[in-house]
């Protein structure tokens, strides 16, 4: 580690709160699927900011859209109307097959928006007694880190120092539709679930799970709310992960990350008119949510995904990556899971955690990160060049072999 890198890291650690444990690399430039550190070393980015960089770093079309909007008007607040907001709400509603959208900034804000919408719908439409509404979530979830959201997390580290927890939430095992049905009561207003648990370790539910969830929610008059902040927008090989099961459509869809095109924090809660119309003026909002600049960026980000057929590309390349990883039969690998270009490699305990592999990869010019200790996530830009992608996969395989040989010796 050079003195320049060390200086930045030491200042970050001294002056910045320690809420992350980053790899010891200082990035200063990004282009496409590549980044460069402060010393000029080039890396292939196989994390893509947890899918927020699905378009790659500094996509020229998205940069141009941002620049054009910046020269006109950037911020209005929702006290006034703006053109990009109207365009975005129509575009994302049509794309998802839903009726109305409420743009926010972070994914957690969009989840909070969905929680509020579900409770309002429960009281105003379903007629649940006031303050009795309950929302079911799946164990192993990750929906954000606000107080309300960590209240239905099963990760002790997310909860322990932050109590008391917010009431009104119930938990069921992920992928178990029968458990969901058994947990529903007359006060249940919604079931919130990720189609694939990303932070949970790229956990894919059994085939037919979402279809069964849709049937159960319809039967019991419960909202089906899908958190696709990480899985949405072409990442899994479909525009939305729920599209992998025909006939499934949520009542509420939560989006973020890639919606900002790698430039700005943009999220949205999209839903049926019945649900989204429960919000009345003054009941929910955001100073920056729906601002012209972020909406112009999101509109262009969506256009790029559609016009460049990035969902189809993700499906094809992801299948090839998973096949190559499985065929390698690298030692120390317990399981390989993936859909599209959202791939998890789970390691055996003797490997000492996925961070060991991530650190070794960093020295070979490939950036990836662990999730849930033993799983390493691969989620490159959907625009990545095929030769770069497969070179990175080969480096991953070689590095796993290297780490395994060190740990087993």
Would you name the residues annotated as active-site residues? 142, 227, 257
Place of tokens 């390698």: 328
Residues 6+ apart with CB under 8 A from 66: 263, 264, 293, 296, 297, 300
Bridge partners of 190? 135, 223
Cβ–Cβ under 8 Å, residues 214 and 225: no
Query: Which residues pair with residue 370 across a beta bridge?
Result: 376
Is the CB of residue 180 less than 8 Å from the CB of residue 136?
A: yes
User: Please, which residues bridge with residue 352 across strands?
Assistant: none
């Amino acid at each position: 580690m050079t003195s320049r890198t060390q200086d930045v890291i030491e200042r970050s650690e001294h002056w910045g709160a320690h809420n992350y444990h980053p790899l010891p690399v200082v990035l200063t430039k990004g282009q496409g699927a590549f980044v460069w550190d402060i010393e000029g070393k080039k890396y292939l980015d196989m994390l893509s900011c947890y899918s927020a960089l699905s378009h790659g770093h500094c996509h020229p079309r998205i940069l141009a859209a941002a620049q054009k909007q910046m020269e006109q008007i950037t911020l209005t607040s929702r006290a006034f109307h703006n053109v990009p907001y109207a365009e975005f709400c129509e575009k994302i509603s049509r794309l998802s097959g839903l009726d109305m959208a409420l743009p926010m900034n972070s994914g957690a804000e969009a989840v909070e928006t969905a929680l509020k919408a579900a409770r309002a719908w429960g009281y105003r439409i379903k007629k649940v007694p006031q303050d009795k509404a309950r929302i079911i979530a799946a164990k192993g979830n990750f929906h954000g880190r606000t107080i309300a959201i960590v209240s239905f997390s099963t990760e002790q580290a997310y909860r322990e120092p932050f109590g008391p927890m917010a009431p009104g939430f119930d938990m069921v095992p992920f992928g178990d539709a029968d458990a969901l049905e058994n947990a529903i009561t007359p006060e249940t207003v919604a079931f919130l679930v990720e189609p694939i648990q990303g932070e949970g370790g790229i956990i894919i539910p059994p085939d037919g799970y979402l279809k069964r969830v849709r049937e159960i929610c319809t039967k019991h008059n419960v909202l089906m709310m899908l958190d696709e902040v990480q899985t949405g927008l072409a990442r899994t090989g479909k525009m939305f992960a729920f599209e992998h099961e025909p006939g499934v459509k949520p009542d509420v869809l939560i989006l973020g990350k890639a919606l900002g095109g790698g430039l700005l924090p943009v999220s949205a809660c999209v839903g049926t008119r019945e649900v989204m119309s429960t919000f009345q003026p003054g009941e929910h909002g955001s100073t920056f949510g729906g601002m012209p600049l972020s909406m112009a960026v999101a509109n262009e980000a969506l256009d790029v995904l559609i016009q460049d057929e990035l969902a189809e590309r993700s499906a094809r390349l992801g299948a090839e990556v998973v096949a190559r990883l499985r065929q390698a039969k690298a030692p120390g690998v317990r399981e390989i899971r993936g859909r599209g270009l959202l791939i998890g490699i789970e390691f055996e305990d003797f490997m000492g955690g996925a961070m060991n592999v991530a650190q070794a990869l960093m020295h070979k010019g490939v950036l990836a990160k662990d999730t849930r200790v033993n799983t390493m996530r691969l989620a490159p830009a959907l625009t990545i060049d095929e030769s770069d992608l497969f070179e990175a996969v080969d480096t991953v395989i070689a590095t796993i072999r290297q780490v395994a040989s060190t740990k087993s010796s």
